[in-house]
Amino acid sequence: MRPIIYAANWKMHLPPEDARQFAVSFRDGVGTLPGRTLWFFPSAVSLEAVCQAFRNRPDIRVGAQDVHWEPRGAFTGATSIPLARGAGATGALVGHSERRHVFLETDAETGRKVRALVEAGLTAMLCVGELLGEREAGQTEAVCMRQLRAGLEGVSGAAWDQVLIAYEPVWAIGTGRNATPADAAEVHRAIRAELARLGAPRSVPVLYGGSVNLGNVAALLAERDIDGVLVGGASLDPAGWAQLVSVLPA
């Protein structure tokens, strides 16, 4: 059985000391959970503290929330892959909707980031998802497929093992409105079909994100095509997150 993936996106929260305390209390309070892989995406300044706390936990991975494709240079404010790796990260989110819609990151830029990550031996979690207007206009699949194709351009062979996809409908992020499990699963099936067309093996995980919480996680994971969850708001409280990752598919 493939592991279920629970990923925490801490966004612009939890400074280093709070992040370290969270990680240490989680590590000491929650033992290895069979059949589960956990990811934490702290802010860049808190990466090292979290990586240190989890360094002896192979079931827990830590990634950056964004990286630049260039390894170094004059890119004020950006985090390179070598910098993230130096802090202990083994992967990164790419193309989160806030990167796309707040920071106006393009599809082409997401592709450069995914390629740079896999070439460097790190894992990329590529996020895709439609805006509310796009959903209402019946463009959900077209938008997600376009983002997938651009984000995964050039990925082939063994590099697929370093790729995860997160489907996050933008209208469901941080709003308390989540896609119904059946609606999400329908998009997941379309994503899987596109992944197959791109040559990806069935083992590439496809996660759902957008207002996932303790009340809806079991039903979402019960869908055969949903391999895990990417969680923002409900991952910020250590006790709540410990409870959420203990939930198995309904």
Positions touching ligand PGA (CB under 6 A) are 9, 168, 173-174, 209-212, 230-234
Distances in whole angstroms, Cα of residue 246 to Cα of each of 4, 5, 218, 224, 227:
11, 11, 10, 18, 15
Kindly state the smallest distance separating residue 233's Cβ from ligand PGA, in Å: 3
Identify which of residues 88 and 233 has a Cβ nearer to ligand PGA in the complex. Answer: 233
Kindly state the smallest distance separating residue 100's Cβ from ligand PGA, in Å: 11
17 is catalytic: no
Q: What is the largest CA-CA distance in the chain?
A: 49
d(CA 165, CA 58): 21
Marked catalytic residue, from 48, 68, 96, 194: 96
Kindly state the smallest distance separating residue 24's Cβ from ligand PGA, in Å: 23
Kindly state the smallest distance separating residue 121's Cβ from ligand PGA, in Å: 24
188 is catalytic: no
Identify which of residues 155 and 244 has a Cβ nearer to ligand PGA in the complex. Answer: 244
d(CA 23, CA 173): 24
Identify which of residues 67 and 234 has a Cβ nearer to ligand PGA in the complex. Answer: 234
Kindly state the smallest distance separating residue 235's Cβ from ligand PGA, in Å: 7
Identify which of residues 5 and 234 has a Cβ nearer to ligand PGA in the complex. Answer: 234
Marked catalytic residue, from 98, 109, 130, 168: 168
Phi and psi angles of residue 107, each rounded to the nearest 5 degrees, phi first: -55, -45
Identify which of residues 58 and 176 has a Cβ nearer to ligand PGA in the complex. Answer: 176
Instruction: Name the residue with tokens 């992020």.
Output: 173
Indicate which residues carry an active-site annotation: 96, 168
